[in-house]
């Protein structure tokens, strides 16, 4: 019996990508890395900063592919709804994660940890952190879904943290 290939999908999240104001620089880097580790990229979606769109895409892809990698929407602004959307897709709660908050405090003075920056420490319950040496705040992983920043340099650093977790056959996140 032949084992199914290890596959992946990528979800690029952000109104700015869809509008053309921001040119995506992440997809090619992700595709190259997936190829290097023996993972077949099978699908790419670009979705707006809307919870329902993100939830629909994540739920459609996480059961179909071995891995789903997302970029964008985990920053400090009001339209950064990816973390909430991932929590909703998995049916779990979300709140400020003490580990992520501590990471922010390593690089910010306590007085500069305002409500907007604290949004970057909101992590779905049960998620593993994706730590980046360049970012003040982490990405995270829920089962087979890896959630990374949209800023290319930060995403690339997070992708290097994710690399060792890919390429080995793992259960899908159904």
1/146 Cα distance (integer angstroms): 29
Closest residue by Cα to residue 55 from 91, 106, 22, 29: 91
Per-residue pLDDT at 79: 87
Residue 63 near residue 43 (C-beta atoms within 8 A): no
Bridging pattern class, strands 145-148 and 67-71? parallel
Tell me how far apart the alpha carbons of residues 68 and 9 are, in angstroms, rounded to a whole number: 5
Going residue by residue through the chain (174 aa), what tens digit of pLDDT does each one get?
Answer: 556 789 999 999 999 999 999 999 999 999 999 999 999 999 999 999 999 999 999 999 999 999 999 999 998 888 899 999 999 999 999 999 999 999 998 888 878 888 888 999 999 999 999 998 888 889 999 999 999 999 999 999 999 999 999 975 444 444
pTM of the model: 0.92
8 A C-beta contact, residue 53 and residue 47? yes
pLDDT given for residue 169 in this prediction: 47
Contact 145, 70 (CB under 8 A): yes
Q: How high is the pLDDT of residue 2?
A: 55
Please report the pLDDT score of residue 168 as a whole number. 57
Q: Which tokens hold the place of 59? A: 């739920």
| pLDDT attached to residue 136 | 82
CATH topology (fold) of 7-165: Molybdenum Cofactor Biosythetic Enzyme; Chain A (3.40.980)
């Amino acid at each position: 019996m032949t084992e199914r290939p290890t596959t992946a999908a990528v979800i690029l999240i952000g109104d700015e990508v869809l509008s053309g104001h921001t040119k995506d620089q992440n997809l090619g880097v992700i595709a190259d890395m997936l190829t290097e580790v023996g993972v077949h990229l099978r699908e790419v979606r670009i979705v707006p900063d809307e919870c329902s769109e993100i939830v629909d895409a994540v739920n459609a892809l996480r059961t179909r592919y071995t891995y789903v990698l997302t970029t964008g929407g985990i920053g400090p602004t009001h339209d950064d709804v990816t973390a909430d959307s991932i929590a909703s897709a998995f049916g779990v709660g979300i709140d400020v994660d003490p580990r992520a908050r501590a990471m922010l405090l390593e690089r910010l003075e306590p007085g500069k940890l305002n409500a907007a920056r604290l949004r970057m420490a909101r992590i779905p319950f049960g998620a593993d952190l994706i730590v980046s040496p360049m970012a003040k705040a982490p990405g995270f992983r829920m089962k087979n879904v890896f959630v990374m920043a949209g800023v290319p340099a930060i995403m690339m650093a997070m992708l290097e943290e994710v690399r060792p977790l890919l390429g080995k056959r793992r259960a899908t996140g159904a």
